[in-house]
Every structure is written in structure tokens, then in C-alpha cells.
Structure 1
Amino acid sequence: MTSKIPFYISVVALVVAGIMLSVFRHQTYGVPWTPGETRQVWDIEARLEFSGQGEPIKASLAAPHTQPGYTLISESASSQGYGVAYLETETGRRAEWSIREANGPQTIYYRTQFLVDPNADVEVIPPQGERNQPTFSGPVEAAAIALIDRSEKRSADDITFTRELIKTLNDGDSQNAALILNELPKVEAVDKILAYAGVPSKIAGVIELEDGRRRQSIQPMNQVWDGKAWQLFNPESGAQGVGPNILIWDESNVSLLDLIGGSNSQVLFSMIAQEVSAKTATNNKVDADGLLNMSIHSLPLEEQAMFKTIMLIPIGALIVVFLRVIIGLKTSGTFMPVLIAVAFVQTQLVTGIIGFLLIVGTGLIIRSYLSRLNLLLVARISAVIITVIMIISVFTVVAYRIGLTEGLSITFFPMIILSWTIERMSILWEEEGPKEVLMQGGGSLLTAVLVYLAMTNSYVQHLTFNFIGLQLIVLGGILLLGTYTGYRLTELRRFKPLAED
């Protein structure tokens, strides 16, 4: 006897692979589990204002990049007469504009779009080399050393050291803190003391995202390296970590804007939030991260529309297998109900049922006449096919003439399948009688309705179209159902008298 262990291992492998593919697509590509979900996109515009002095101008602005929680999906610049380039420098990404000559007030716009993305693919850049130890004046240096000694005693690593240092600087009763803050801004004081203590750190410029906010200035904060990632600290409040709606714009630790040939420069930010569909967000993320998109969504729209229906057929097959193997429902043909259900999707349910009954009923009447002619099978089937085409044509014309536009969609019925169905039902009528025809015909129609309800369910359509791994899970389920050899539910009535005895 052949062991079924390899079979069950294969089924489990199919199910596990399907689940893993679905989870991977959800986490990597951001495809939601449920339909109708939207994603938030922030449009952020940096406005550069300065005055030209009739000289060549070169303006270099720190440009943001993908970071935890946000994926950069697009960037563009609007600068009349300026040349623009996006550069990768030692201090990070920068957008650079240049012009041979400019006079008077100048305005340049730099616009970015960030997708709110908890699974953003972030490249962490560790500290490069060692920073030079800063110098302080005598009293300030003594105060800095005192703060370092105090913070070291109350900390265990660089992160907790920074936390204690900021807490001490915000202590209004500390004379050392007051002395240092009289000489330096708080964010610069924290950065210099950390560098003096040998802690890898830098100053980052952040903006607070607020829908409809205009003319916002960048806020400097401190970043400290914890060995794996940069941790953000707000020197004013002592808060650690990137809070909600906080976007890090400038991590160059050099300057937000470098301007040559101009004066009176400033950079102001405006922003607005918008909701986009999950499909749009996924496509944007694929383009931004350079991911290999092997999904159906990479096909042209015409092919996508075709596959949207095709990917529903395995769900119909699963329902048919369950109804026939477990329930014991009889159908005319194995998967004819699935094809009829696909036609129902196009014609709508009520129109489809009426059309199905009219075509099959009329076809059976004509087929009964053909049986008296003793034709060969091939000729008889061909005659039934032509008859079905004529019936569909007549019904379509009549429906159009009386104003029933829904009847025009009856042409979506599979003509060949209907012809074979009529042929099978006719033979069944002759061999088993009308009762068996009604049972199989009714079972086929009931199965088609159930498959139609599953195919038109928005959750089923969303999952089958967006998660190809679901097909492997369905395949595993069908294979398991194929091993069932017990009694069907409809057969249990045969044993009801035994149970009563």
C-alpha cells in the first residue's frame, strides 16, 4: 500500500508556501488584507527664497530620503531658468540648482511625496569616522565636564547618557547648565557635549507634519547612534524617538541650505495630506523601492481585467468539490456550474438564471425532436450548438426590442458548455427519467448560484486578485478533499431507519 505521508507533506508545503507568499506581499509591497483600504500620502513643498546679486548662483538643499515610517515615492523641482540635479554626497542626498546670473528676489520650489509606510525599506548609514573633539572656553568646559560626569554616573549606555544629559540641561536649578546655555543654543550644546564625551551624534532637521500647514520652519533635533540605528532626541522636551507625524528632512549634519552668489536666504515648508487607494500606494512603493513586481498588477489593464475573473475560478472549483464530495450534491457536468457562475457575474444573477432556464428548457425541447432522427453524436451535438446560438440570438433581439437591456448580456453564456449540458440532460431524461434531470439541473443551478455569490464577494475578489499565494492554499484544500472516502451528507438519510431502531 502506497504511503500517503509524502502527499500530506506536499499539501502542508503548498499551504505554508501560500501563506508565506501572502504575508510577504502584504509586508513588502504593502498590499492590505481587506478591500477599500486607503493609504496616506504627504505632499511636502520646500520654498527657497533668497536675493540674487547679479552673480552666478548655486543653491544646494538637503534632500530627504526613505526613513522608518515613510517611503519617498517622488520628488520634483520648479525653478524657472535654473538647472537642477539630485546628488549623492558624503553628507547625504542634496538637490542642487544653478544659474549663470540672477538679480533680485528669487524663489525655488522643491516638492516631495512621502507614503506613510510602516514597512519602509530603510538603509541605515552608520557614523563615518571619528568627530573632532570640540573646544570650549574655560568656564564652559568645566561646566560641560561636570554635566558629563553626572550623566555618566546615571546612565548605562550612550542612549541613557543622552537622556540624562538633556534632563540635566533642562534643569532650571543647575548652574552648569545655565552657564552652557548662555553661550550655546540647547541643540548645539547637546551635540557638542556628546562629541566631547565621545558619543556618536549629529544634528538633524525635522518638520512636523500637519495637514494644511504653511510656511513652517525646520526644527533642529539631536540624533545619537545606538549601535544599530540613529535615535532622535528632542532637546527641548527630552522626548526620545520619532513621534507621530515627525519627518526627518535633513541628516547631513552640515547645513540645510548652502547658497553661493545670493543673500537673505530662507527655507519654508508647506504640506498637505491626501488619501490614495491601496493599489496606487503599492505601485508607488514598487517604483520607489525598485522592487521586482511579479504580480498581476504589472500587466496592462486589459490583461488585469481578464485575470481578475480567471483568478476567481479556483474558488468556484473549491466550492464544487466541497458540494460534490462532502455534501453529495449532484450536478450536470463536473465544473459546468463554475462556467455558468462566471456568466452570471457578467449578466447579473436574476437575468442569468432566467436566461439559463430559457436556453436549457428550449434546447431540451428541440433536442427531443432531434433524438427521433437517429443522428450520429457529432452531427447531433453540432445541431444543438447551432440551435443554442439561434436561441441566444432570438432572446437577445427580443429583449432589446421590448427594452430589457439586461437581456443583452445573455451572450456571455458559454455556448459549447450549454450545448453539452442539453445533450447530457436529454440522454439522462431518456435513461433515468425527468426526476434525475431536475435533481442534476437543480443541483447545477444551486451550485452556480453559490459560486456566483462567492465570486462577487468583495473580500474574495480582493484576496484572489492581490495574493497569488491564496491559489496554493486553495489547491491544498482541494487535494485534501480529494482524499475523502466517507459518506456524503445526502447519503446519511439512507441510514436514518437504522439510527431510529
Structure 2
Amino acid sequence: MRLHVWLLALSLVALGLGMAWYKHSALGFPLTAQATTDTWIVEARLGFVPVGGAVKAELMLPEDPPGYRVLEENFISRGYGVAVERIDGQRTAVWTQRRPSGRQALFYRATMLPQEMQREAEAESPAPPPVPEYEEPYLQAVNSVLDEVRSRSADVATFASMLMQMLASPEGNDNIRLMLEGKRSDVDKVATAIHMLAGARIPARMVRGITLEDGARDLQPSTWLEVHNGSRWVPINPANGNTGYPDNFVKWWKSEADPARVTRAREVNVRFASKRSQLDAMEALSEGTQTGTSGFVEFSLLNLPVQTQNLYRILLLVPLGVLLIVVLRNVVGVKTFGTFMPVLIAISFRETQLIGGVVLFTIVTALGLSVRFYLERLKLLLVPRLAAVVVVVILLIAMLSVLSYQLRLPTGLSVSLFPIVILAMTIERMSIVWEEHGPGESLRQGLGSLLVAVAAYLLMFQSNMEHLMLVFPELLLVVLAIVLLLGRYTGYRLTELVRFRNMESD
């Protein structure tokens, strides 16, 4: 049986710690209540000057950029109607106004959370593009370059990477210089690469985005090439042919065109800015749940209504207090009134705070005991006597509330929330022990209950402990395992070692 208990306890510990570690490492659940996470605030400013009549302004927007999750989006404008539409396969913000005047500025702002780079999969692989009709001398130049790249590559990604390297450094290659005649920008080089890759029937597209910098106010969009290898789009840097986006790159739109189009306007320009920010880790996780993340998050306690979360915030701490009582009673040997009474008292201290709760508990218990012994002289039956104690306790609490209010003591105002039933039960239990075992034993158990309640309060109601139990309730499996192991403990208590130390010396 002992082996069975140990195996069960080890299984519970492994399961609880394993689930908690997975939620922390894979899903990003924070271990501390004060944990924060780095986020980026990215802003696009669309400026223009209307020339008369109704204006329709379109701005391309990012959509699930690799390496980032968009937590929040804001569209800032004055007097404009705004809608998000899909135009030519691109997510686009559309602002409209009847008759704007003067220089206009429209803003799009997004809060982005960095996350692990995931491969971007397509629902359907794009069809191979048709082979363009190259004219001479470009036909021979394209075929020569494609044959050379084909001989030096192994797959689609390396093929496109090798071609991009040749376009990035055209020196010494007459065919490449011919294809790039009069073309020097990255946009021109990527467009040329797409045109040449079509000759090899390789799907390719141009991607535009920005590289995030903290405090940058005028970020210039950069251009990338993406080729489809049959299962996903592979990004390729036009500067050196390397594959993969850098960590601080935000993929914004997929087009050679400018990111904005405005009707009946001139001097149209788009400026990008970014800055690093700090966001509470739990807030980021909650917002990520709303935008659609792991089902593990969706079915956690964090997805419950706030009122229900506050209830579980207390309930999940009760097992910790119970574990402390098991240790103090079975291992240390502290005597208390019952098993769970100190935990209930500790929960009461949450309303009054520790020092005020101890003072109020001591005052009310002492006065209640005095009344209890007075009622005993009246020779009352048990139930009427308990009822009289409850009435007196309520009167005492009411008097202390009024006195605290007059003395401007905010702690005393919480006495109205102090659990009356707990006080009445404590007074009754203390008086019974007084009668059966004497005042010494009654005071020892009362003091022990108060000390255990204080220790339970200090353990349970820490901000990090409340956070851990609410975010990682599976840790209660570890608590259960410890309780099961302590349930098999049959050795001496620490107080007994002190109590019988003379016999050991003899």
C-alpha cells in the first residue's frame, strides 16, 4: 500500500508540474503577477490634400504577420467613416468623407505581441505561372541565367535564393546586367526575379513590410521576395538571398503598388512609426484569447467572467491553507480548534487585513467568551445559549463598526464583513474546551488556531500565490500529492520530541 501511495503521489506531481510547465513555456502563461511582456505599437499615418468632392482613402493593413500577433487595432480619424474590407486579396482599411478640406491625416495603430515564428501555410498551393514571352535578347539571357541557377540549386528555395544573389550582385554577369538595365531599387530587383522565376514555372510574389525600431518615426518599407515550394511561402531577402524574415520585421502588404490609394487627392504619402512598449503579461494573454489562440487558454479559468474568477481566486487558495494545517498538526503538533477553522479565520483576515483582523478577532472572542460564561450562569439550554451568543456577537460587531467610524479607522469598517458565524463557532468551541479540559487547554488551542490562521493568511494571500493558483490550478495536484504522503506519516511530532525529551535522556 505504501508503494501504491508513493506511485500515485509521483504521478500527480509529474502531471501537475508538467501541465504548468507546458502552459508557461509553450502558451506564455506568466509565473508571477508582476510579469510583463514586450509589445510593439506600430502606426501608419496616411496624409493627403483633397482637391474637391468626396474622398475615398484606402490603406493596406497587415494580416497575421509571421512572428507577431495583433492584439488591438485602432483607426483614428475625424469626420470619416471607416470600414475594413478585402480588396484584391488584401485586407484594407477604407475611409470615406463627403467634402473634406485642408490637409488630412488618417491613422492606423496596432499593438503587436512578438511570438514564435510560425510557418505560413496556404490552404491551396498556387498554380504555376505561365511562361512569359521573352523577347530577344532577353530570352537568351533568361534561359542562360535559369540554366546556371538550376545547376547550382537543389530545390525551389535554393533556386530562388541563388537567383536573388545574382541579382543583388550583377557585376561580372552580362546576362544579369541586361535584365537589370536601368533598375536599381529592391522593388525593381524583386519584380525582375518574379518575372524570371515565371520562366521556371515557380510561383513568386512581392512582399512589403517594415523593420521595427524603438522610437522610429519615419520607417521606410522594405521589399522581400516570397516563393512557394509546394507547401508554404519561403521569404527571401533581396539584399543577399538569405531565407527567413528577421525577428523585427512585420509583413504588411503583398503588392508592388503603394500601400495607399486616395481618390480626389494629391500629395498622398504614408509614414510608418513604431515604439516598444510594456504590457501586463496576463492582459496580453487575455487579449490573445479574444483574438483566437490555443484552446488550452480558451478553456482555462481566465476565460470565465470576472466575478467567477474572483470566487475561484479564493477557493483555489483553501487547499494551501489545508496543507499548512496538515503539516502543523501532524508534523509539528500544533493544536487548533478543528481542522478547517484556522483556514476560515485566515479568509476572514482577507477582509480586515492581518493586524486589524487579529485585533478584532481577539477583542470579539474575549468579549464573546465573557458573555458566554455569564449566560452559563443563567442555566440556559445549549441551542438558546448559542443563539444568544450570535446575537451578542452581532451587537459587538455593530458597536465596533460605529466606534471605528467615529475614530476614522478604516480597518474597523471591515468588521461588518467579518464572518459572524465563524466567530460564534470559535467562541462556542473555545468555551466547550474550557469546560472539558480547563482554561489552559482552551487558551492553547485558541492561540494555536490564531497562529495557524496568521501563517495560513501569509501563505495564501500573497499576490504571486493567488496568481499561481488561478493561472495554474493544476498545481493543486502537487498539493494533493503532498497531503497523501503526509497522510502516511506516523512518526513523532516536533512538539512531542520536546515534550518527551527527558525520557530520551533517561
Q: TM-score, normalised by structure 1?
A: 0.84
Contact (CA 8 Å) 1:218, 1:268: kept in 2 or not? no
User: Residues 303-333 of structure 1, C-alpha deviation per residue, up to 9 Å, x if partnerless?
Assistant: 5444433332232222222322333322112
Contact (CA 8 Å) 1:71, 1:115: kept in 2 or not? yes
| More deviation, 424-433/297-306 | 297-306
Contact (CA 8 Å) 2:390, 2:424: kept in 1 or not? yes
Specify which of 451, 466, 469 is matched with residue 456 of structure 2: 451
Q: How does 1:29-44 map to 2 (within 5 A)?
A: 30-44=28-42
Change (3 A) 1:127 1:109: farther
Specify which of 197, 207, 210 is matched with residue 213 of structure 2: 210
Q: How does 1:25-424 map to 2 (within 5 A)?
A: 26=24, 30-50=28-48, 59-78=57-76, 84-88=82-86, 91-97=89-95, 107=104, 109-118=106-115, 124-125=121-122, 127-171=125-169, 173-176=171-174, 177-184=176-183, 185-252=188-255, 256-258=259-261, 265-289=268-292, 293-298=298-303, 301-424=306-429
Change (3 A) 1:497 1:237: farther
Contact (CA 8 Å) 2:206, 2:224: kept in 1 or not? yes
Name 1:474's counterpart in structure 2: 479
Percent identity over the alignment?
A: 36
What SS does the corresponding residue of 2:181 show, helix, strand or coil? helix
Cα distance, 1:234 vs structure 2: 2.1
Measure the CA separation in 2 of the matches of 1:459 and 1:226: 47
**Two-structure CA RMSD over aligned residues (Å):** 3.7
What SS does the corresponding residue of 1:235 show, helix, strand or coil? coil
What SS does the corresponding residue of 1:289 show, helix, strand or coil? coil
Cα distance, 1:462 vs structure 2: 1.2
Q: TM-score, normalised by structure 2?
A: 0.83
How many residue pairs match? The answer is 498
Measure the CA separation in 1 of the matches of 2:118 and 2:152: 35
Matched letter for residue 216 of structure 1? L
Cα distance, 1:28 vs structure 2: 7.7
Change (3 A) 1:385 1:167: same
What SS does the corresponding residue of 2:279 show, helix, strand or coil? strand
User: Residues 355-407 of structure 1, C-alpha deviation per residue, up to 9 Å, x if partnerless?
Assistant: 22222223223323333333222112112222222333334444444454433
Change (3 A) 1:430 1:268: same
Measure the CA separation in 2 of the matches of 1:499 and 1:156: 82
What SS does the corresponding residue of 1:374 show, helix, strand or coil? coil
Cα distance, 1:64 vs structure 2: 1.0
Cα distance, 1:259 vs structure 2: 5.5
| More deviation, 408-417/56-65 | 56-65
Contact (CA 8 Å) 1:48, 1:268: kept in 2 or not? yes
Unaligned runs of 5+ in 2: none
Measure the CA separation in 2 of the matches of 1:365 and 1:496: 37
Measure the CA separation in 2 of the matches of 1:335 and 1:165: 74
Measure the CA separation in 2 of the matches of 1:122 and 1:281: 22
Measure the CA separation in 2 of the matches of 1:105 and 1:400: 61
2:439 is aligned with 1:434 = yes
Matched letter for residue 448 of structure 2? G
Cα distance, 1:256 vs structure 2: 3.2
Cα distance, 1:131 vs structure 2: 1.9
User: Residues 111-152 of structure 1, C-alpha deviation per residue, up to 9 Å, x if partnerless?
Assistant: 141321415888632642222334545344444444434444
Cα distance, 1:155 vs structure 2: 3.3
Measure the CA separation in 2 of the matches of 1:359 and 1:76: 55
Measure the CA separation in 1 of the matches of 2:308 and 2:391: 30
Change (3 A) 1:83 1:423: closer
Change (3 A) 1:82 1:372: closer
Measure the CA separation in 1 of the matches of 2:338 and 2:325: 11
Change (3 A) 1:88 1:498: farther
Measure the CA separation in 2 of the matches of 1:223 and 1:455: 54
Contact (CA 8 Å) 2:54, 2:100: kept in 1 or not? no
User: Residues 81-130 of structure 1, C-alpha deviation per residue, up to 9 Å, x if partnerless?
Assistant: 6654323356332334456x768877462514132141588863264222
Change (3 A) 1:400 1:91: closer
Matched letter for residue 348 of structure 2? A
Measure the CA separation in 1 of the matches of 2:403 and 2:80: 67
Cα distance, 1:71 vs structure 2: 1.4
Cα distance, 1:243 vs structure 2: 1.5
| More deviation, 205-214/89-98 | 89-98
Matched letter for residue 131 of structure 1? P
Measure the CA separation in 2 of the matches of 1:410 and 1:102: 63
Cα distance, 1:264 vs structure 2: 5.5
Change (3 A) 1:231 1:417: same
Cα distance, 1:448 vs structure 2: 0.9
| More deviation, 204-213/481-490 | 481-490
Change (3 A) 1:390 1:500: same
User: Residues 20-57 of structure 1, C-alpha deviation per residue, up to 9 Å, x if partnerless?
Assistant: 66456557864322121223443333333456566776
Contact (CA 8 Å) 1:66, 1:120: kept in 2 or not? no
Matched letter for residue 86 of structure 2? E
Change (3 A) 1:215 1:223: same
